Amino acid sequence: MTGRTVVIGVGNVFRRDDGAGPAVVEALRDRVPGDTVLAVSDGEPGRMLDLWHGADTVVVVEAVRGRPARPGRLHTLSAAEAAAGGSASTHALGLGECFALAEALDRLPRELVVHAVEASDVGLGPGLSEPVRAALPELIDRAAVTVRKARERRLRERDAAGDAEGGRTATG
């Protein structure tokens, strides 16, 4: 996968609100520049590392469980914050562990942003709960804004430095 910006919707569409990440990715198809890589993942670290290999900016969208829970509440986290968050993620190894692994292997992208929504229902079945559905437009906006800002920043840097090729992302 190559691309300056990669958006990964993490989740399982058959686990209700866990499908929020994939739903956002679907909604972004018409809203982000064509060179943006859009992907859906189950969050398994090996695949996540593959997906963002060579990327400059990675946007992860996913559902989390909050304690105490406030379903539909949005969170935006940096990689460091997400890594410190441990197992709040609904996914097997935990996104936090995935980021920590990437860091240990020098495979963190230059910029990594997590947009998350607190889930209400991760039971079996398709379809989002009402609080998450209501929060979805804002979640989509946040992801789209991150993609746009990353692009603008790259353009600025290209103007300033002449060449923005050969990013700092380690090769594996």
Partner 1 sequence: MSHRGSRVLRLDALARVEGEGALHLRVHDGTVAEARLRIYEPPRFFEAFLVGRGHTEPPDITARICGICPVAYQMSACRAIENACAVTVDGPLAQLRRLLYCGEWIESHTLHIHLLHAPDFLGHPSAVELAREDRAAVERGLRIKQAGNAILEQLGGRPIHPVNVRVGGFYRTPAPQELRPLAERLRQVREDALETVRWVAGFDFPDAVCGHDLLALRDPGRYAIDSGTPTAMAAPDDSDAEPGPALREFPVTDFEQHVHEEQVPHSTALTAILDGRRHLTGALARFAISGRWLHPTAAGAAREAGLGDPAAGTVCRNPFRSIVVRAVEVVHALEEALRIIDAYEPPPRAAVDVRPRKAVGTGATEAPRGLLYHRYALAEDGTLSAARIIPPTAQNQSAIEEDVRRAVQSRLDRPGPAAGDEELATLCERAIRNHDPCISCSAHFLDLTVEHT
Residue 40 interacting with partner 1 (CB under 8 A): yes
User: With 0-12 CB in 10 A as exposed, 13-18 as middle and 19+ as buried, what is 132?
Assistant: buried
Residue 80 interacting with partner 1 (CB under 8 A): no
Q: Shortest distance, CB of residue 97 to partner 1, whole angstroms?
A: 6
Residue 120 interacting with partner 1 (CB under 8 A): no
Residue 101 interacting with partner 1 (CB under 8 A): yes
Residue 125 interacting with partner 1 (CB under 8 A): yes
Q: Which of 74, 111, 122, 154 binds partner 1 (CB under 8 A)?
A: 122
Rounded to whole angstroms, the Cα distance separating 49 from 108 reads 8
- CB neighbours (10 Å) of residue 52? 27
Q: What is the pairing mode between strands 74-78 and 57-64?
A: unpaired
The one-character DSSP state at 131 is: H
Tokens representing 99? 């980021």
List of residues contacting partner 1 (CB under 8 A): 12-15, 40-42, 44-47, 49-50, 87, 90-94, 97, 100-101, 104-105, 122, 124-125, 172
